[in-house]
Amino acid sequence: MKFAYEFRNAEYAKKLVEKLNNISSDKINIMEVCGTHTMAIFKYGIRDVLPSNINLISGPGCPVCVTPQSYIDAVLTLCTKEDIITATFGDMMRVPGKKGSLSKKKEEGFDVRIVYSPMDCLTMALQNPSKKIVFLSVGFETTAPMTSLTVIEAKKSNIKNLFFATANKIVPPVMEALVKDKELRIDAFLLPGHVCAIIGTKPYDFLSEDYNTPGVVTGFEPLDILQGLNTLVNLISKKDYRIMNEYKRVVKTVGNPYALEYLNKTFNIVDSNWRGIGRICGSGMEFNGKYEYFDALKHFEIEYEDYDGSPGCRCGEILKGKIKPSDCPLFKKLCSPENPVGSCMVSSEGTCAAYYRYHKDNI
Amino acid sequence: MNDTITLSHGSGGLQSNKLINEVFFKYFGNDILNQMNDAAQLEIDFKKLAFTTDSFVVNPIFFNGGNIGKLAVCGTVNDLAVSGAKPLYITSAFIIEEGFSIKKLEEIVMSMADEARNAGVKIVAGDTKVVEKGNVDGIFINTSGIGRIYENVNINCSNAREGDIVIVNGTLGDHGMTIMCARNELGLEGNLRSDCACLNSLVDIMLEAYGGIHVIRDATRGGVAAVLNEISEFSNVTIALEENNLPFKEEVKGATEMLGLDPLYIANEGKLCAFVPEAYAQKVLSAMRKHPLGSNATIIGKVTEEIGQRVYLNTVVGGKRLVDMPSGIQLPRIC
């Protein structure tokens, strides 16, 4: 089975849309947390085929978008130090800090390289013994296990010139903050499929048990999303607040025990700042004592004061789903993909980037 | 001759002449080039000519389906062909890094000669410079070309009109993904092959089928998305694409899915977009499908009656989304 394209079948999509239009006429607010869901919903024009009573709200599930500006500025300071090679995922290159961006630093001649996996940094470290490699470890539970694997291997192989600037975050705590927010009225969640592939579905049980809010884990193809929405609307209409898994080809209830074991071996859970949202307890990851040596910001003694965002930028409210990008005064005027003010515009999963690139109001 | 290029090969003396004779003239030689004048002297009997130039800096220099030399000839031939001109003469200028392998240079030059011969063009002038190690990435090539514009053919970026059918000659994104994977920075392997090819003979049979084709453009950097947005802007039209009809190779689909890239924005080097009035679209399509470079020709969309300059996609679920002009380079995403 060709997984990607089987789940884009137009005939099945049409049937799912018809079903969705016939379940309930009540006004329903559904938050899709994950940035990849945001992009997929736009990419396939799913909002165009939804009944008018279903309102999809984009949430803060974009790791680049929620990384504080202070982190960006800290790594920009780091990347200009002597003998440093900065290795990063591609999305981070153009995120603006107060002092520019990684892309600009690369243009200025500093050694900044895009990697697809942190494991590439092991080879980089071995091939460049006189350099210090700093990997920017940004991402949720989906990608943090790769950092864990890499640092475990680095320690085992006695690699001394590889470091990690960690900014990994945990999703369920921010969802609790959102479901408690009285200004938002979230009736249900479309749960992030790839985060769930690692952590399973149990970490979301609190939504059902404590807040009477159902959630459906779904994948990222159009049929996945439409099926997930069908299931959610059915649950809401029956006042059934369960957490359900509609992505069984990837997600197990227990998640990925191996990945979780690696995370537990390397990280402590700490409080963390989310850009535009604020400090959320127990929502971040930091290396534990055994791997503290590899913490780049500690090793290079980079001062890190917490601050957030640019004047006028309303990424925070957009990330919480309180406003749409078109409500931000900078959107498409001062802030565009070519000249991003906020991270929501530059990330490949950012809500503002999705609106700018795909939205039907532009058609 | 040495195994590698030295600074002497670019100094205009004995070694330069040896290189020119034993490599460039050996493969490019023709009645005009062999006169060895400082400028090619051409006799032409037409008034309207097309004139283009392009430079090639691709890395890696050799890839599945071609090399920098093949690209250099095809790129310039194609720019002439899609302008409604018969490509006639090409120049080629080389900037070569000291230490470059002469065997590799010969391979590149041979490819260029083969492509030029197949396309029916002559390489009539050239230049060679050698720079110190590190000042260029192996080899850079510039080609310029002239062609005779066909009479009664008016192909222009601003000619697209309501009702025009948009046809591409085959699968999209092959070249860009081949290069991306060949660079091996992403650790991906696959049976990808560049579609690099001279399109002039395909354009000829398209114009034979219908000489009033409105627009033909080759879809290179920025992919089909870039070209369609340019046409939309210059013609002041809205173009609607059908997602179900977009042709992609399985390998390109797989690689772009893994990396989170959109194949509409990935480069091609042997693909064109044609805007054909609706009444003649099937005739042009049938003619294309009989040509080796058009066997997978497909209708991917049309120019609608909507006002405005935009390109959008009718998605598989029945929604719409913009296909905007690409901005910056596409980067693999985090998760």
Instruction: Tell me the range of A175-189, A191-205, B183-197 where mean pLDDT is highest.
Output: A191-205
Q: Which residue in B245, B316, B323 has the most chain A C-beta atoms within 10 A of its own C-beta, making it the best mutation to test that interface?
A: B316
Q: Do B319 and A358 touch (CB under 8 A)?
A: no
Q: Do B315 and A89 touch (CB under 8 A)?
A: no
Q: Which residue in A88, A91, A363 has the most chain B C-beta atoms within 10 A of its own C-beta, making it the best mutation to test that interface?
A: A363
* Last residue within a domain, chosen from A201, A221, A245: A245
Q: How confident is the model at residue A360 (pLDDT cuts 50, 70, 90)?
A: low
Q: Do B317 and A90 touch (CB under 8 A)?
A: no
For residues A126 and B84, give the distance between their C-alpha atoms in angstroms, rounded to a whole number. 54
CATH number of the domain bearing residue A288: 3.40.50.11740
pLDDT of residue A4: 66
The whole-number average pLDDT for the span A228-232 is 96
DSSP-derived letter for residue A150 is H
For residues B218 and B216, give the distance between their C-alpha atoms in angstroms, rounded to a whole number. 7
pLDDT: is A326 or A132 the higher one? A132
Let me know whether A159 and A278 are in one domain. Answer: yes
Q: How far is B231 from chain A (nearest CA, A)?
A: 16
Taking the Cβ of residue B39 and every Cβ of chain A, the question of whether any pair is shorter than 8 Å is answered with no
Instruction: For residue A218, give its domain range.
Output: 3-62+171-245
* Last residue within a domain, chosen from A245, A279, A309: A245
In a domain, A308, yes or no: no
pLDDT tens by residue, A136-146: 999 999 999 99
Let me know whether A19 and A47 are in one domain. Answer: yes
Q: Do A222 and B316 touch (CB under 8 A)?
A: yes
Cβ atoms of A357 and B322 within 8 Å: the answer is yes
Mean pLDDT score of chain A, rounded to an integer? 91
Let me know whether A237 and A89 are in one domain. Answer: no
Let me know whether A88 and A109 are in one domain. Answer: yes
Q: Which of B188, B185, B170, B202 has its CA nearest to residue B268?
A: B170
Q: What are phi and psi of B166, to 5 degrees?
A: -100, 120
Per-residue tokens: A50:
């939804």
Residues 6+ away with beta carbon under 8 Å from B247: B168, B170, B171, B172, B296, B298, B300
For residues A319 and A87, give the distance between their C-alpha atoms in angstroms, rounded to a whole number. 26
In a domain, A321, yes or no: no
Chain A residues within an 8 Å CB radius of B315:
43-45, 222
Let me know whether A156 and A75 are in one domain. Answer: yes
In a domain, A341, yes or no: no
Let me know whether A123 and A40 are in one domain. Answer: no
Let me know whether A161 and A273 are in one domain. Answer: yes
DSSP-derived letter for residue B101 is B
Helix axes A222-237, A35-43, angle to 10 degrees: 110
Residue whose entry in the numeric block shows the structure tokens 């000519």: B49
pTM above 0.80, yes or no: yes
For residues A331 and A318, give the distance between their C-alpha atoms in angstroms, rounded to a whole number. 11
- Number of domains present in the structure of chain A: 2
Let me know whether A130 and A90 are in one domain. Answer: yes
Q: What are phi and psi of A133, to 5 degrees?
A: -95, 130
- First CA to last CA distance, chain A: 35
For residues A330 and A324, give the distance between their C-alpha atoms in angstroms, rounded to a whole number. 12
In a domain, A189, yes or no: yes
Let me know whether A225 and A96 are in one domain. Answer: no
E strand or H helix at A70: helix A69-79
Q: How far is A182 from chain B (nearest CA, A)?
A: 30
Domains of chain B: 7-149 (3.30.1330.10), 165-322 (3.90.650.10)
Q: How many CB pairs under 8 A join A and B?
A: 111
Q: Do B316 and A8 touch (CB under 8 A)?
A: yes
Q: How confident is the model at residue A6 (pLDDT cuts 50, 70, 90)?
A: confident
* Last residue within a domain, chosen from A220, A245, A270: A245
Per-residue tokens: B12:
């205009």
Chain A residues within an 8 Å CB radius of B320:
45, 48, 360, 363
CATH number of the domain bearing residue A181: 3.40.50.11750
Let me know whether A85 and A138 are in one domain. Answer: yes
In a domain, A307, yes or no: no
For B:309-328, CB contacts with A below 8 A are 310, 312-322, 324, 327-328
pLDDT of residue A319: 80
Let me know whether A73 and A162 are in one domain. Answer: yes
Let me know whether A280 and A221 are in one domain. Answer: no
Taking the Cβ of residue A114 and every Cβ of chain B, the question of whether any pair is shorter than 8 Å is answered with yes
- Burial (CB count <10 Å: 0-12, 13-18, 19+), residue B171: buried
Q: Count of CB atoms within 10 A of residue B12's CB?
A: 10
In a domain, A94, yes or no: yes
Strands (E), A209-354: 215-218, 243-245, 267-274, 278-287
Q: What is the mean pLDDT of each run of 10 residues along chain B (335 residues)?
A: 85 87 92 89 91 94 95 97 96 96 96 97 95 94 97 94 98 93 72 94 97 96 95 97 95 86 93 98 98 98 95 93 80 59
Helix, coil or strand: residue B139:
strand
DSSP letter for each residue of B34-74: GG--SS-------S-EEEEEEEE--SSSEETTEEHHHHHHH
- Cα distances (Å, whole numbers) of residue B238 to A59, B198, B277: 32, 29, 15
DSSP-derived letter for residue B292 is G
Cβ atoms of B192 and B177 within 8 Å: the answer is yes
Cα angle value B70/B23/B119 (rounded, 5°): 35
In a domain, A304, yes or no: no
Q: Do A90 and B328 touch (CB under 8 A)?
A: no
In a domain, A22, yes or no: yes
Q: Do B334 and A91 touch (CB under 8 A)?
A: yes
- Which is it for the CA torsion B59, B60, B64, B65, positive or negative? positive
Computed on alpha carbons and rounded to an integer, the radius of gyration of chain A in Å comes to: 21
E strand or H helix at A20: helix A10-20
Cβ atoms of B198 and B73 within 8 Å: the answer is yes
The whole-number average pLDDT for the span A246-258 is 96
Taking the Cβ of residue A55 and every Cβ of chain B, the question of whether any pair is shorter than 8 Å is answered with no
